[in-house]
A and B are shown apart, each in its own frame.
Chain A
Amino acid sequence: MVLWLVATAIFIAIRLIPGDPAEAIMGGPGSQASAEALAAARAEYALDQPVLAQYLLYLGKLITLDFGTSYSLKQPVTQVMGEVLPNTLWLSLLALAAAWLMALCFAAAATRSNRFGSWLGNLLEIIAAAVPHFWLGAVLIMLFSSALGWLPAVDNGSAQGLVLPVLTLALPLAGFLTQLMRDSLAEAMGSQFALAARARGESRLKLFWRHGLRHAALPALSLTGWAFSSLLSGAVVVEAIFARPGLGRSLLSAVLARDIPMVTGIALFSALVYILVMALAEGIERIINPAGDQR
């Protein structure tokens, strides 16, 4: 349902662009597309037919995963996406995992520390969440690549090349997740159940694992869909800065070249990813929290 809405929105948007829709598909008024190319575009998208016919054709193509041909790259969109997708997915998954790891560690540490440590940790989380990707990436490159020479600045195929980009993507998310978890954790650790357990002599750490973790994780889980999408968003900037091939970089060049078929493909794909991740997260949530109690 969501996909349908997004697809329809894009269809309408293309029709709304002033001027010839064939030109728009071919990259905008300055694309210098030849007359033959425009004619081919018209035929492919059935632009001479009534709007309803065009719309059905458009939907039909999408269902068969035919996003058309990228104007700027002269290749089928699905092919280009297929080539670059794994990189972005890999990067995002690693960043998600790293962010979760960091968040859990910090949240756990937060329960054990004193007032000052708690205040400091709070501040750091907020700062981390507020740092823009493009600034963080540049600073990390300066520090770890140019100045210290420990890590490579660009993708050279090695695992080392992944460290800085993953870190850049993961840090702001980690800050955000930590804040999230901390709230729930505080609630959980302060609840009747927790107090009773402490009274029984259970250690803080054990309590955290058995009880707190579930409660801390739940809100973070339900936001995983959103978190993953925001990682895809961040990937646009990170891939640009670290010169990594990926969906984000493709999207950026597609937008700059006004390559509508490419943009459409990527937009629909990210919507799809969001839905899948949400479904997955809901599934995990149900496993962790079968009783379905309120968080």
Chain B
Amino acid sequence: MQRNSRSSRILAGALALPIIGALIAGCSSTGSTDSTARSKEPVTGGTMVYASGDAEPSCLDPHVGGNYPQALVASQYLESLFTKDANGQIIPWLAESTEVSKDGLTRTIKLRDGITFTDGTKLTAEAIKANIKHLKDPNTASSTGYLAVGKVVSIDVKDELTAVLKLSAPDNALLESLSMPWTAIESPKALERDQATNCAAPVGTGPFKVKSWEHQKAVNLVRNEDYVLPVANDERASSTAYLDGITWRFIPEAATRYAALQSGEVDVIDNAQPDTISSAADAGLGHLDAPRPGSSNRIELNSSKAPFNDVKVREAFIRAVDANTGVSALFFGTAKRSNSLLSSVEPLAYSDESLFTTDTAKANQLLDEAGWSERDAEGYRVKDGKRLSLRFPVSTNQSVPAEQSLFEQFQAQAKAVGFEVKIDLLDLSSWYGALAKHEYNLVSAPYTKVGPSVLRVLYHSDSTVPAPSGYFANNAQVKDEKLDKLLTEAEETEDEAQRASLYEQAQKIVLEGYYVLPLYDQQNHFLYGKNVHGVGTTTAVSSPVYFDTFLDQ
């Protein structure tokens, strides 16, 4: 079976290059048009330089915390029990097979034999136990992984390769949860080390391993010579990666990052700016478009306090702004407008365009109906002496410049119907602080997770209860009993059709309640130089793995 059993998103018509297996097997992935790639034989050797636009993670172990920059780098040296195939189906990866009991409370996972970690430890069921324990341990301070295995109560090791997980409630999203880098499997021996040491060089089973981490300079990865592909690919000449290593750098300045790619100083960049993506083909650069799963990028309206506690005011705001024009202009056509709560890679995404068409007349009418009919001297609406004012904290870490400009456009459009929107550009820490203290009316907080179960994380009323740190994921403060029931049932049923129907009803409730203004998929664009080939394989969370990648020598 080919390596492209992991999901891959290739932009049709772009210079994205096919996976090497395609050369031999003759069945290419969709949309590949680059003729030079077809004639290229993979060559071993060379160190690829990768430049990320995200902030350097504070820990290379994605169990700790759990954000996307960590997932991007960890995808090279860690692997998960499950992954997604080209059709978006969850398939076993480090696991060989899995089954669940009739009542849904016991999940058995059998591992593949013959896989070792880079520190020599064999992959056994003990590893599963140790990893899940690590995720649930408060000292690890895991956010994402912790939530993902929330329903796992205990793990028994039945034999060397079999683990039995006991759950507190049926969880049909468990396999999806175990396909993410944030629940990846690390060597139990390595996990026993103190956190600082493990953060500097986590040990996994992936095609690369961490050689060193020079802070603020680069993470140095080298080829794992003992790598074993969990699913054998007989057409592949060697079983190890072609690249000798990867130098993983951090260049937060978008213009500098792109300049470095143009001059050939770096080979691959992420967080590519929209205008550079649209001109990539002309510039001779390759492009990989891999939207992240989970939620779409959206603006959430805080329904727990005035003025958005009134659904009319929420709809008025949404009708006042023109997201379609803004998105197409600022993103140069590289981002498609989404009207769904879920990413377009989620098969169960539901959308209804009619809910979100711009209609300033309707917006004005709704505000008048809601009692905000008077205006003050500056043109903003007032009611009972209070101004129609909205606070919008924006994190410069989460929102790219184009998105910040989009919000500024909304600010101007909302002003025209009488809303005062105050945008606060904040650093990540202050942003979390503002959210925790409910000092916001509007916020954009993307959430990456595999599968529609992300809807429960984001819209169930339980998610309005803050964790000890003050963090909660339900920023729209949706507290709807009917919705809660739908979401809980959807995670427990084994019937696929029922699951789809329940999730559709749930999405309808949130969309029609105007709690959220969907914008576009979580953008995940990568640009690479002419000398780079074999880019396209991604993990379940759409982070690229450079196993098949090779450089011109």
Interface residues of B in 446-480 (CB under 8 A from A): 467-471
Q: Given B195, B253, B257, B263, which contacts A149 in the complex, CB threshold below 8 Å?
A: B263
Interface residues of B in 57-89 (CB under 8 A from A): 58-59
Interface residues of A in 228-250 (CB under 8 A from B): 240-243, 245-246, 249-250
Interface residues of B in 156-204 (CB under 8 A from A): 195-196, 199
Q: How far is the CB of B220 from chain A (nearest CB, A)?
A: 13
Residues of A within 8 A of B211 (CB): none
B42 is an interface residue with CB less than 8 A from chain A: no
Given that A30-B436, A36-B139, A243-B252 are known contacts, is A258 also in contact with B215, CB under 8 Å in the complex? no
- SS of A interface (majority): loop
A267 is an interface residue with CB less than 8 A from chain B: no
Q: Which residues of B contact A (CB under 8 A)?
A: 51, 55, 58-59, 138-139, 141, 143, 195-196, 199, 214-217, 249-253, 255-257, 259-260, 262-263, 265-266, 427-437, 467-471
Q: Given A28, A80, A146, A152, which contacts B215 in the complex, CB threshold below 8 Å?
A: A80
Would A153 and B263 count as touching, CB distance under 8 A?
Answer: yes
Residues of A within 8 A of B253 (CB): 240-241, 243
Segment of A71-79, A92-100, A110-118 in the binding face: A71-79
**A36-B138, A153-B256 known; 20 other A-B pairs, CB under 8 Å?**
A27-B429, A28-B430, A30-B435, A30-B470, A32-B470, A34-B469, A35-B468, A36-B139, A37-B141, A83-B214, A146-B262, A153-B259, A154-B51, A154-B249, A154-B259, A242-B256, A243-B252, A245-B217, A257-B427, A257-B429
Would A249 and B427 count as touching, CB distance under 8 A?
Answer: no
Which among B260, B266, B470 has the highest number of chain A CB atoms within 10 Å?
A: B260
Would A33 and B265 count as touching, CB distance under 8 A?
Answer: no
A222 is an interface residue with CB less than 8 A from chain B: no
How many contacting A-B pairs (Cβ < 8 A)? Answer: 112
A122 is an interface residue with CB less than 8 A from chain B: no
Would B429 and A256 count as touching, CB distance under 8 A?
Answer: yes
Interface residues of A in 132-158 (CB under 8 A from B): 138, 141, 145-146, 149, 152-154, 156
Would B432 and A30 count as touching, CB distance under 8 A?
Answer: yes
Q: For residue A34, which residue of chain B has the nearest CB?
A: B141
Would B199 and A145 count as touching, CB distance under 8 A?
Answer: no
Would A72 and B58 count as touching, CB distance under 8 A?
Answer: yes
Q: For residue B468, which residue of chain A has the nearest CB?
A: A35
Q: How far is the CB of B267 from chain A (nearest CB, A)?
A: 12
Given that A74-B58, A153-B263 are known contacts, is A32 also in contact with B251, CB under 8 Å in the complex? no
Q: How far is the CB of A186 from chain B (nearest CB, A)?
A: 41
Q: Given A36, A146, A154, which contacts B251 in the complex, CB threshold below 8 Å?
A: A154
Measured CA separation A28–B431 after assembly (Å): 11
Residues of A within 8 A of B251 (CB): 154, 243
Measured CA separation A73–B65 after assembly (Å): 13
Would B199 and A74 count as touching, CB distance under 8 A?
Answer: yes
Residues of B within 8 A of A35 (CB): 468
Measured CA separation A29–B466 after assembly (Å): 14
A253 is an interface residue with CB less than 8 A from chain B: yes
A197 is an interface residue with CB less than 8 A from chain B: no
Residues of A within 8 A of B59 (CB): 74
Q: Given B143, B216, B428, B435, which contacts A256 in the complex, CB threshold below 8 Å?
A: B428
Would A73 and B249 count as touching, CB distance under 8 A?
Answer: no
A31 is an interface residue with CB less than 8 A from chain B: yes
A281 is an interface residue with CB less than 8 A from chain B: no
Measured CA separation A253–B249 after assembly (Å): 16
Q: Given A34, A36, A243, A250, which contacts B250 in the complex, CB threshold below 8 Å?
A: A243
Q: For residue B59, which residue of chain A has the nearest CB?
A: A74
Residues of A within 8 A of B263 (CB): 145-146, 149, 152-153
Q: For residue B217, which residue of chain A has the nearest CB?
A: A245
Residues of B within 8 A of A253 (CB): 55
A-B contact list, 26 entries, CB within 8 Å? A27-B429, A28-B429, A29-B436, A29-B437, A29-B470, A30-B429, A30-B433, A30-B436, A31-B429, A32-B143, A32-B467, A34-B138, A36-B138, A36-B139, A73-B215, A83-B214, A84-B215, A138-B255, A141-B256, A152-B260, A154-B265, A243-B251, A245-B217, A258-B427, A258-B429, A258-B430
Measured CA separation A36–B469 after assembly (Å): 11
Would B256 and A154 count as touching, CB distance under 8 A?
Answer: yes
What are the 8 tightest A-B residue pairs by CB atom distance, in nearest-first order? A30-B433, A30-B432, A32-B469, A245-B216, A153-B259, A256-B427, A29-B433, A243-B251
Would B58 and A30 count as touching, CB distance under 8 A?
Answer: no
Would B259 and A146 count as touching, CB distance under 8 A?
Answer: yes
Would B256 and A30 count as touching, CB distance under 8 A?
Answer: no
Question: What 1/0 flags go to A51-77 for Cβ under 8 Å of B?
Answer: 000000000000000000000111100
Residues of B within 8 A of A138 (CB): 255
